[in-house]
Amino acid sequence: MNLDPVIHAPARLQIVSLLAAATEAEFAFVRDNLQVSDSVLSKHASALENAGYVEIRKGHVGKRPRTWLKLTREGRRAFAEYVTTLQQIVGQPLATPTDDSSPS
Helix axes 73-91, 10-20, angle to 10 degrees: 110
Q: Give the C-alpha separation, 48 to 83, whole Å.
A: 17
Q: Give the C-alpha separation, 1 to 28, whole Å.
A: 34
Which residue did the predictor score with more confidence, 104 or 6? Answer: 6
Specify the pLDDT at position 83: 93
**Does the predicted model carry a pTM greater than 0.85?**
no
Specify the pLDDT at position 100: 57
Sign of the alpha-carbon dihedral angle for 34, 44, 88, 90: negative
Q: Which amino acid would we find at residue 51?
A: A
Contact 88, 1 (CB under 8 A): yes
Reply yes or no on whether the pLDDT at 35 is more than 70: yes
90 band by pLDDT with thresholds 50, 70 and 90: confident
